[in-house]
Structure 1
Amino acid sequence: PSIRGVPPVPSDYISVKILMQDGVPAETTQKALAEVERARLETIDYLIEQKEPNPFRYVMKTMGAQPFSGGPRENADIATGSNRGEISVELIKSEDRTRSAPQISALWRERIGPLPGLKQLFFGDVAAGGSKTAIDLEIAGQDLKAMGVAADLVKKKLASYEGIFDVTDTYSGGKREMKIEINANGLALGLTQADLGRQIRQAYYGEEIQRIQKERDEVKVMLRYPLKDRKTLTALHDLRVRTSSGVEAPLSEVATITMGQGYPTIKRSDRSRIINVQTSANKDTAKVPLIERDLELNFLPSLREKFPNSRFTFVGEKKEQEESDSGLAQAGGICLFVIYALLAIPFRSYLQPFLIMSVIPFGLIGAVLGHFLFGLPLSQLSHFGLVALTGVVINDSLVLVHYVNQRAKETTLLEATRLAGMARFRAILLTSLTTFVGLLPILFERSLQAQFLKPMAIAIGFGVLFATFITLLMVPCLYLILEDLKKIGTAVLLKLGIITNAPIEA
């Protein structure tokens, strides 16, 4: 199974967020909401045809805002606008339906037709864990136009992978605007770009010329063009611009006026402008780690050659996972060293702790097999279970080795290992089985709360179960092999004259 951060836990809510392009009228957003609602009704009809229950319990449609995010929340800072809309539904309990929230979302999304003017469509269907975006590629640089072209190429490539959908980027044009730049005639008259900006602002916004005190309030008196001269583009072209010498000239003579799009927002990171290309994915069909690896090896090198002034890096879930893995590796090394020290002191041996700890890798194998059987990815919660597993699986081998050490004082080593296997078989087997059986209710629980505990329970339960049989079979054999190696080593050292007497048994 693939390795992930905190695994996504399906929610009992689905929140469909619609974000249209800036400046889109409310009527267009309402039509998009109506199309999404039509797709939801089609999903109900399909499920009923499949003899499945209607999964939707309550529905709330919101125009002009997005107050939900996979479930109800309280937040005073809710963005509003005519280009925003949302449909939020509450599902029946997971025990009463046959499909999870992400599976229902996938059916719903398939039935949504084209949405003109759409900027982003997002389905929130997880209660916790996971990431809003499956793949998040950051493009950093200074030239937004070139970065926009690169973002389009990345989106086209991502759309070619199976299971990838909702491919969007954070680079989008804002509302239409007029760009006014001074030309050679204006420069010859002694004008500057600042002069143009100041005089156009005075004409349309106004210049404060006086303040009048009216009882306890101050009233600003603004001087500007009449309303009829501020409503048409023709009036802007005929705007009179005054030079420092008092000469007046039409704006169209001293400046170049072009129509274009502004930037609603410009995102920055480390003093560079950035554009994020983001996607959602069907985790059942899209192998996200393999897709990221293919992009890194086969696509991004050519893109870096084509856009040498831009940087392409994976962020989001992938970056967080790399940082988390580094921290877990360090913590795991410290834990193993502490376990070794705690075993070496009472056993008074440098080698026997390695013998006891030899079952840890097999416990990890059992945990991986358990995740494979349940179809769950290894995640951070699984790692927590693996850490707990390291301390649990060595208990059986600890008891076994201790018993062998005690009986070896009374009989031969071979007989001691045989007696240890017979004497401790029942205790080891019952301890492991009761641990595994005690975790079964969590493994088969379908409620929302149990989903957070499943990865840890699978890691501990299957790790203990698998390591038990390895302990009973392998640890006695390894004990005998270790003693044989010690005898061979002692004989070699005696023959070389390095030691004269047999060393104290380690």
Structure 2
Amino acid sequence: GDTVSAEMSLQSDASYGQNERNIQWLETSLNKADQQLMDKYHSDVSGISSLQVMASGDQSGSITVELKKDKVYSLDELASVWRELAGTPEGVKQLKIQSRREMVDAFKVELKSVSDETLLLAEEAFREALSQTDGVTSVESSLTPGEAMMRFELTPQGRAMGMDTASLSQQLLQAFGGDIVQRYLRNKNEVKVRVRYPEEKRSNPADILNAKVRLDDGTVVPLNVVAQIIPDTQQKQITRIDGLRALTVSASVNADVITATELVNTMNETLVTQLTLQHSDLAIHFAGEAEQQEETTSSMQTLTIVALLAIYALLAIPLKSYIQPLIIMAAIPFGIVGAILGHWSNGLMISLLSMQGILALSGVVVNDSLLLVSRFNELRRAGRPAKAAIMDACHGRLRAILLTSFTTFAGLYPILGETSKQAQFLIPAAVSLGYGILFATFITLLLIPALTLINEDARILIERVSARFSKPTERLVHDQTVTR
């Protein structure tokens, strides 16, 4: 069934038990979101079918929710309300709540530069622009936040008191991390006794400021007397692509509001132009769904050319004509027009599956034209004049053409009216085929006869011109023969 999932990871310095508390909070906020949507639609039945909770140690956890088929609210509504109610729990480094229908990394951009500062500025600009775009959620960056840390540097006074770096680090580790002072057996199990500050004196980073250290002579002094405390961050991960520092910014895209391709075009027209002008060393590459769609579209363009050439060859060989295959294939553009009108009338956008349906349509719409042209050729070989032959061909093949087109559309119509999510991806291709065939059928009955007669007139004209230019040559040859 449809699912909504929440994936959470914590900071490395999160306190013990924080992961469990955050998972409980996510579960509570999920139930609140479910109840809020039930109240909105005046329903007494929860839309949640099952709930799966997983915790990976103390640093990460996830909740996967499977929804009922007869739920009163949509998948995206639950994800949106849950995301709003959950907020950002304490100690969380990353929290991603998304529905299964939303495609992860539908939008993804790779940023590369020799300058860390340039990367950070570009990353911030993309995050801000994406966050302000309707239909874009779960904006994330591969830039791992630096972990907060404290550096300790001995002061001149501390060195004068005999304190060194090794002794200072050992005492701080014992005070806050603990030191094992005793081991003993209890029921065949080894028990370790660890001594450290009580929890109320080591749970807050500010507690370090109140720490005390012991000098070699046994004197206890405040930490800030012997050492200077410097807040700092530590970068945990460095990514390089082609030898350059790199990071990625990704987001989930709701295709009902904006497609990944439209989002990429918007970013190219606005943000990318601005960033490349400001930072000449910045390289921007769009990946994710838009890149895959671009690659697929490029390959489809090649396949379309190959398919059209194959159709032309298969028609030209049996017809023994170079022109008639082009007349038959003239119905293809009008089939494409019909497919576009079908998408417009059904409120659909042209997608990759729509293009695949149009490609299949190209091989189908030629059938009606082929029926007409084949019958026309038969009648011409039987001695019928061109106009009479095309009229008889239209009369004789009208029923077959209409039956072929209407039965094809009737077979596709159940898919056009399908409402289940499993069949949604088929609808664009079915619309392209169904409406394209219908539209091209009526165009075929008007266009193909006209083009066929034009072709006949052109052929007769060419024969007359050729005959006129060939007569002087024949006469000259005859005169030379008589003279001899």
Q: CA separation in 1, counterparts of 2:238 and 2:370?
A: 60
AA partner of residue 122 (structure 1)? K
Q: CA separation in 2, counterparts of 1:499 and 1:204?
A: 113
Q: Of Structure 1 and Structure 2, which has the larger fraction of its residues in helix?
A: 2
DSSP 3-state at the match of 1:265: coil
Alpha carbons of structure 1 residues 115 and 377: separation in structure 2 relative to 1, 3 Å: farther
Structure 2 residue aligned with 1:14: 4
* Bigger Cα displacement from structure 2, 350-359 vs 448-457: 448-457
Q: CA separation in 1, counterparts of 2:314 and 2:472?
A: 29
Structure 1 residue aligned with 2:326: 354
Checking the alignment, whether the CA contact within 8 Å between 1:56 and 1:89 is kept in structure 2 is no
Structure 1 residue aligned with 2:392: 419
Structure 1 residue aligned with 2:107: 135
Q: Where does 1:470-489 land on structure 2 (aligned, <5 Å)?
A: 470-489=443-462
Structure 2 residue aligned with 1:345: 317
Structure 2 residue aligned with 1:57: 48
Structure 1 residue aligned with 2:268: 296
Q: CA separation in 2, counterparts of 1:500 and 1:54?
A: 95
1:61-102 Cα deviation digits (max 9, x unpaired) = 5253xxxxxxxxxxxxxxx35343323221222xx3465533
Query: 1:337: Cα distance to partner?
Result: 0.8
Q: CA separation in 1, counterparts of 2:465 and 2:95?
A: 73
Structure number with greater Rg is: 2
DSSP 3-state at the match of 2:112: strand
* Structure number with higher relative contact order (C-alpha < 8 Å, ≥ 6 residues apart): 1
Residues 1:38 and 2:32 aligned together: no
1:320-355 Cα deviation digits (max 9, x unpaired) = 122111111111111111111110000000011111
1:432-483 Cα deviation digits (max 9, x unpaired) = 1111111222232333442343333232222222221222222112212222
Alpha carbons of structure 1 residues 284 and 452: separation in structure 2 relative to 1, 3 Å: closer
Residues 1:462 and 2:435 aligned together: yes
1:378 to 342, 350, 358: 350
Aligned pairs, number: 426
Q: CA separation in 2, counterparts of 1:38 and 1:499?
A: 97
* Bigger Cα displacement from structure 2, 446-455 vs 150-159: 446-455
DSSP 3-state at the match of 1:172: coil
Query: 1:489: Cα distance to partner?
Result: 4.0
Structure 2 residue aligned with 1:126: 100
Structure 1 residue aligned with 2:373: 401
AA partner of residue 148 (structure 1)? L
Q: CA separation in 2, counterparts of 1:311 and 1:426?
A: 61
* Bigger Cα displacement from structure 2, 140-149 vs 50-59: 50-59
Structure 2 residue aligned with 1:269: 241
Checking the alignment, whether the CA contact within 8 Å between 1:33 and 1:86 is kept in structure 2 is no
Checking the alignment, whether the CA contact within 8 Å between 1:393 and 1:464 is kept in structure 2 is yes
Structure 2 residue aligned with 1:86: 62
Checking the alignment, whether the CA contact within 8 Å between 1:32 and 1:115 is kept in structure 2 is no
2:13 to 18, 23, 41: 23
Q: CA separation in 1, counterparts of 2:344 and 2:10?
A: 41
Structure 2 residue aligned with 1:189: none
Q: Where does 1:99-178 land on structure 2 (aligned, <5 Å)?
A: 100-109=74-83, 112-113=86-87, 115=89, 118-126=92-100, 131-177=103-149
Query: 1:256: Cα distance to partner?
Result: 9.8
AA partner of residue 4 (structure 2)? I
DSSP 3-state at the match of 2:302: helix
Alpha carbons of structure 1 residues 158 and 450: separation in structure 2 relative to 1, 3 Å: closer
Q: Where does 1:108-257 land on structure 2 (aligned, <5 Å)?
A: 108-109=82-83, 112-113=86-87, 115=89, 118-126=92-100, 131-177=103-149
2:292 to 305, 316, 320: 320
Q: CA separation in 1, counterparts of 2:72 and 2:460?
A: 63
Q: Report the aligned-residue RMSD.
A: 4.1
Q: What TM-score does the superposition give when structure 1 sets the normalisation length?
A: 0.71
Structure 2 residue aligned with 1:245: none
Q: CA separation in 1, counterparts of 2:312 and 2:429?
A: 24
Checking the alignment, whether the CA contact within 8 Å between 2:342 and 2:431 is kept in structure 1 is yes
Residues 1:308 and 2:280 aligned together: yes
Query: 1:152: Cα distance to partner?
Result: 0.8
Structure 2 residue aligned with 1:210: none
Checking the alignment, whether the CA contact within 8 Å between 2:113 and 2:281 is kept in structure 1 is yes
DSSP 3-state at the match of 1:453: helix
Checking the alignment, whether the CA contact within 8 Å between 2:260 and 2:290 is kept in structure 1 is no
Query: 1:124: Cα distance to partner?
Result: 3.9
Alpha carbons of structure 1 residues 135 and 449: separation in structure 2 relative to 1, 3 Å: closer
Q: What TM-score does the superposition give when structure 2 sets the normalisation length?
A: 0.74
Mark the runs of 5 or more structure 2 residues left unpaired by the alignment.
155-164, 175-193, 197-201, 217-223, 475-484
Checking the alignment, whether the CA contact within 8 Å between 1:102 and 1:126 is kept in structure 2 is no
Checking the alignment, whether the CA contact within 8 Å between 1:22 and 1:174 is kept in structure 2 is no
Mark the runs of 5 or more structure 1 residues left unpaired by the alignment.
1-10, 65-79, 183-195, 206-225, 241-251, 502-506
Residues 1:329 and 2:319 aligned together: no
Structure 2 residue aligned with 1:4: none
Report percent identity of matched pairs.
33
Checking the alignment, whether the CA contact within 8 Å between 1:366 and 1:465 is kept in structure 2 is yes
Q: CA separation in 1, counterparts of 2:173 and 2:62?
A: 37
